[in-house]
A = this chain, B = another copy of it.
Amino acid sequence: MKTDLDDNQDLSKQIAEAIRDAIINGSLLVDQRLPSEAELCDKFGVGRSTVREALKRLAAQNLIRTQRGASGGAFVNRMSFEEAYGQQITTSTLLLSMNQVDFETACEARYALERACAPLSAQRRTADHLATMRAEIHRQTQPGLTDEAFCASDVAFHRALVDGAGNPVLSYQLAGAVEAMQPLMNMITYTQRDRDRIVEFHTQLADAIEGQDGPTAEASLGQLAEYTVELGRSRLTQSKDRR
């Protein structure tokens, strides 16, 4: 591990990076214990607060976990899919909201990726995934649903579709694309007609997935994508004009 630090730089940042690199390149293995804080102080020649700040940086990225007590310490953390999901969603959400990414671009990305899952999902979906999709479709037809709840259900529906592909890496990669869209979709006000149309697409899609008909599923998604972009275009430009 690199232990010579450039002064007049942020020490805790450099230490965190040195340890992170050691984890990535395999010098530190999963569940291996890092040196104690005191030992790290010696190794890097810095005070304890500096070491601690470095460790907190790593903990924030789920790279390590810490445990108190004798035989405690910092351990290299096995990055779980769940943790990775969370990070991905946070990052994606902020990326979209902070960079004035327009609805159309985000929507295109999301549906392009989701289309890639459709054939796999059609092939491998279980009864569970189908049940979730049907349940969400049903929820979407309930009267009195707020726009937020409708969007949340939409996300859950698509999530089930993606998970149906049975590839955890794919599910992880799409977590950001699907979930980060929700805040953008929440800005749209849906008429009953819009909802009916969307539910129609969802039903078509669920039918295709159930029938293991990949091409049709992909086509339905394509139509839905087009409709959603259209919807966003008309609604968001309207609300912009009102300003």
A residues whose Cβ falls under 8 Å from a Cβ of B = 12-13, 16, 20, 23-24, 26, 30, 49, 52-54, 56-61, 63, 78-81, 84, 87-88, 90-99, 101, 105-106, 108-109, 112-113, 115-117, 120, 165, 167-170, 172-174, 176-177
- When chains A and B are docked, how far (Å) is the Cα of A197 from the Cα of B79? 35
User: B101–A78 contact, CB under 8 A?
Assistant: no
With a cutoff of 8 Å between Cβ atoms, the chain B residues found around residue A79 in the complex are 91, 94-95, 98-99
Most chain B Cβ neighbours within 10 Å, of A53, A63, A93, A120: A53
User: A169–B101 contact, CB under 8 A?
Assistant: yes
A-B contact pairs, 10 of them (CB 8 A): A12-B56, A20-B90, A49-B49, A56-B60, A60-B60, A79-B99, A88-B91, A109-B169, A109-B173, A115-B116
How many monomers of this protein are in the complex? 2
User: A30–B88 contact, CB under 8 A?
Assistant: no
B52, B81, B95, B165: the one within 8 Å of A53 (CB): B52
With a cutoff of 8 Å between Cβ atoms, the chain B residues found around residue A172 in the complex are 92, 95
- When chains A and B are docked, how far (Å) is the Cα of A63 from the Cα of B61? 12
Instruction: Determine how close the nearest CB of chain B comes to the CB of A162; give it in whole angstroms.
Output: 11
Given A61-B90, A95-B84, A116-B116, A109–B56 Cβ distance below 8 Å?
no
- Since A49-B49, A109-B173 are in contact, a sample of 15 more A-B pairs with Cβ atoms closer than 8 Å, ordered by chain A residue number, is A12-B56, A20-B90, A26-B97, A56-B57, A79-B99, A81-B95, A84-B92, A88-B91, A96-B169, A105-B168, A108-B169, A108-B170, A109-B169, A112-B170, A173-B176
